[in-house]
Amino acid sequence: MKILELRTIFGIFSLINPASILRDCSYLPLMMEHIRNFCIIAHIDHGKSTIADRLLERTGTITEREMKFNQVLDDMELEQERGITIKLHAIHMKYRAADRNEYTLNLIDTPGHVDFSYEVSRSLEACEGAILVIDASQGVEAQTISNLYLAIEAGLEIIPVINKIDLPGAMTEQVKHQIIDLIGCKEDDIIMASAKMKIGVDEILEAVVKRIPAPSGNPTAPLKALIFDSIFDSYRGSIVYIRVVDGVLREKDKVKFFATNKYFDAEEVGILEMDRLRTKELRAGDVGYLIPGAKDVHDTKVGDTITNANNPADGPLPGYKEAKPMVFAGLYPVNADNFGELRESLEKLRMNDASLIFEPESSVALGFGFRAGFLGLLHMEIVQERLEREYQQELITTVPNVEYRVIKLDGDVVLVDNPAFMPPIGDIDRIEEPFIRAQIITPTEYIGNIMKLCTDRRGVYKNTTYIDPTRADLRYELPLSEIIFDFYDKLKSTSRGYASLDYDFLENRESDLVKLDILLNGESVDALSSIVHRDKAYEWGKKLCAKLRKLIPRQMFEVVIQAAIGSKVIARDTISAMRKNVIAKCYGGDISRKRKLLEKQKEGKKRMKQVGRVEIPQEAFLAVLAMEE
């Protein structure tokens, strides 16, 4: 590619007249002062991805005709289906600003759901500014605040944007005041927008150019590039998304990955447009990709720093804190033979999802599988679905739980992320469970309901502040185990959908916890064990037995379901034996119908696990999730 070589030669002239050269021949800006790296952050559904659509359109990165669906950056099937962003999406745009200069804008759209906040924090590290979007009809919500704080902590310039001002329920003035109180900005700093009606798009772009500082690395220093994301491509191996902080990265450079201490020859380097666009080099301030030719999923790691092996930097960038998994669950292949395949799939998926962790484990009921850690239940659901869709894995998942810290009588400390591995009661001095700090933002009229909910969930009240006279900010400390299942749904239903929740890990605290075992015809099913608070154990055991009675089909013999703490049975239910199983008629159309049923049962059989003589369907292992209050 001649153009790129020219570019380097003309680098000097560009100081004199950068615009002319940019226009003619380059994908990359010559000077960092014409680069703006920013992300869009907000509470879920406030319109980040739709604003991104407008920016892509306005900058000509994508034509209206190419905009085949809304939220075009949400290119994962699951994202489109669910209408939410799951992963960060980086994209390169060109924008000619009012000052007549052409700017390179590297935009990162981020997810709003609390489970994916790791994607947000990683994005922030690649940016100098953030557009904080607030839905005019919703106002400031929990992740508005938490994501804002993350951005401030990362030292980013914040551009507040009130979106959806077209909505009849828009409370523009009120929301303005909320934002001013929150950020301490001036009213003029806030941009009024409607991504739907294409209002405010130019204002946003101009603000990005004017208010967000250009990147400040040193292009002549040794290479330092931060890996903020990665994907795995079955042909090319791992592809890492990077922000070059210092220096220049060129194809064929010998690069070193600090954390993994691996060396590669940079196979391909480029920028991230709607597709990858090869540019052969990236310089300080740029955002783009590198294909290192690493075929092993262990070679690259998100958060790692890349440097030039022949002219290495002293040390790596600070990188990221590892994501802290909140919930753990077993992932087992339906068919025991597929254990190896499942491992491979998990490893590849981890390339795409830096917050996923897993390690092998085994269960008497389920065979060999993995215990995986997730940031929350939605995250778990997404991982499960991606494994099924993108990697064609058939899975049985177990009931998720938090990680307990068990202090034994001999002083040993064990971390238990699978209830089945809880040490015997006699060896335990005390058990600690994770507590979280919860922030709940709600219209004031629901405060009473929410306090009751939090009390039921063993919450410790801290304090209430007011964002404005109608919106309260409640702070609680809650056991994580009490919020992972249905707390969020309950919170929503008790506040007509208005309350929002954000939380982060606080500390481990001692609680009066017991291990509850489930026995089927006297045999304990390890994958159904759970750890619960003693005060709730009876209620819990009763409900779980009742739920299992519904989920386990009748067998040809009676099945007794028991819930037990140690050897003490605290609840019991029975599934009476099947008394008869034969259809009366089998003529004409009955034949195909009956055959199809048998075919389906054969399929379903694969998803059944056997404990003793009892066949347990897959759903039973998730029984707790489907339990009503």
Partner 1 sequence: MAGIYIHIPFCERKCIYCDFYSIEDNSLQQKFVSSLIKEIELSDAVWQNEIIETIYFGGGTPSVLSPHKIGTILKAIHNRFNISAEPEVTIEINPGTIIPHYFKEYLSSGINRVSIGVQSFRDQDLQFLSRIHNASEATNTILDARRSGFNNISIDLIYSLPTQTLDNWKEIIRRAVEFNPEHISAYNLTVENQTPLSRMVQSGSVTIPEDDLCAKMFRYAMKYLEECGYIHYEVSNYSLPNMESKHNSNYWMHKPYLGLGPSAHSYRNDLRWWNHRNIGDYLDNIAEGKVPLSGSEHLTPQQTMIEEVMFQLRMGKLDFNHLQNKFKIEMDPSQKLIKDLINDNYIEYKDGIVKLTENGFVFCDEITKRFLNSFSIM
Query: Where does this chain touch ligand GTP (CB under 6 A) — which range of 192-200, 437-445, 527-535, 548-556?
Result: 192-200
Contact between 588 and partner 1 by CB under 8 A: the answer reads: yes
Looking at the chain, how many residues does it have?
629
Contact between 482 and ligand GTP by CB under 6 A: the answer reads: no
Q: CB of 554: closest distance to partner 1 in angstroms?
A: 9
Q: Does residue 598 sit in helix, strand or coil?
A: helix
Q: Give the residue nearest to ligand GTP (CB).
A: 112
Q: Determine which residue in the list 62, 108, 195, 548 makes contact with ligand GTP, applying CB under 6 A.
A: 195
Nearer to ligand GTP, 113 or 471 (CB): 113
Site string for ligand GTP, 39-58 (x = CB under 6 A): ---x-xxxxxxx--------
Q: Of partner 1, Mg ion, ligand GTP, none, which one does residue 220 interact with (CB within 5 to 8 Å by kind)?
A: none
Nearer to partner 1, 384 or 555 (CB): 555
Contact 281, 270 (CB under 8 A): no
User: Which pair of tokens denotes residue 628?
Assistant: 């009503």
Contact between 100 and partner 1 by CB under 8 A: the answer reads: no
The amino acid at residue 252 is K
Partners of 305 in beta bridges:
226
Pairing of strands 268-272, 287-291: antiparallel
Phi-psi region of 100 (alpha: psi -120 to 50; beta: other; left: phi over 0): left
Site string for partner 1, 412-451 (x = CB under 8 A): ----------------------------------------
Contact between 598 and partner 1 by CB under 8 A: the answer reads: yes
Contact between 37 and ligand GTP by CB under 6 A: the answer reads: no
Q: CB of 621: closest distance to partner 1 in angstroms?
A: 20
Contact 626, 543 (CB under 8 A): no
Query: Where does this chain touch Mg ion (CB under 5 A) — which range of 46-54, 126-134, 266-274, 331-339?
Result: 46-54
Q: Of ligand GTP, partner 1, Mg ion, none, which one does residue 579 interact with (CB within 5 to 8 Å by kind)?
A: partner 1
Nearer to ligand GTP, 89 or 609 (CB): 89
Dist CA 186 CA 180 (whole Å): 6
Contact between 111 and ligand GTP by CB under 6 A: the answer reads: yes
Neighbouring CB atoms inside 10 A of 21's CB total: 18
Q: Strands (DSSP E) along 275-356, which ranges? A: 276-278, 281-283, 287-291, 305-308, 327-333
Q: What is the 3-state secondary structure (H, E, C) of 369-404?
A: EEEEEECCHHHHHHHHHHHHHHCCCCEEECCCECCE
Contact 300, 294 (CB under 8 A): yes
User: Which pair of tokens denotes residue 528?
Assistant: 């159904």
Site for partner 1 in 531-570 (CB under 8 A): 556
Nearer to partner 1, 415 or 591 (CB): 591
Contact 552, 528 (CB under 8 A): no
Neighbouring CB atoms inside 10 A of 339's CB total: 16
Dist CA 628 CA 617 (whole Å): 20
Dist CA 560 CA 521 (whole Å): 5
Contact between 25 and partner 1 by CB under 8 A: the answer reads: no
Contact between 578 and partner 1 by CB under 8 A: the answer reads: yes
Dist CA 395 CA 618 (whole Å): 9
Dist CA 271 CA 4 (whole Å): 13
Dihedral sign of CA atoms 5, 10, 11, 14 in order: negative
Phi, psi of 308 (to 5 degrees): -90, 125
Q: CB of 149: closest distance to ligand GTP in angstroms?
A: 17
Nearer to Mg ion, 48 or 371 (CB): 48
Q: CB of 157: closest distance to ligand GTP in angstroms?
A: 20
Contact between 48 and Mg ion by CB under 5 A: the answer reads: yes
Nearer to ligand GTP, 177 or 196 (CB): 196
Nearer to partner 1, 389 or 594 (CB): 594
Nearer to partner 1, 568 or 580 (CB): 580
Contact between 117 and ligand GTP by CB under 6 A: the answer reads: no
The amino acid at residue 425 is I
Neighbouring CB atoms inside 10 A of 536's CB total: 16
Dist CA 408 CA 252 (whole Å): 55
Q: CB of 583: closest distance to partner 1 in angstroms?
A: 6
Strand order, beta sheet including 357-363: 357-363, 367-374, 327-333, 395-397
Question: How many residues line the site for ligand GTP (CB under 6 A)?
Answer: 23
Nearer to ligand GTP, 61 or 397 (CB): 61
Contact between 9 and partner 1 by CB under 8 A: the answer reads: no
Contact between 595 and partner 1 by CB under 8 A: the answer reads: yes
Contact between 591 and partner 1 by CB under 8 A: the answer reads: yes
Query: Where does this chain touch partner 1 (CB under 8 A) — which range of 319-327, 469-477, 498-506, 590-598?
Result: 590-598
Residues that bind ligand GTP (CB under 6 A): 42, 44-50, 70-71, 83-85, 111-113, 163-164, 166-167, 194-196
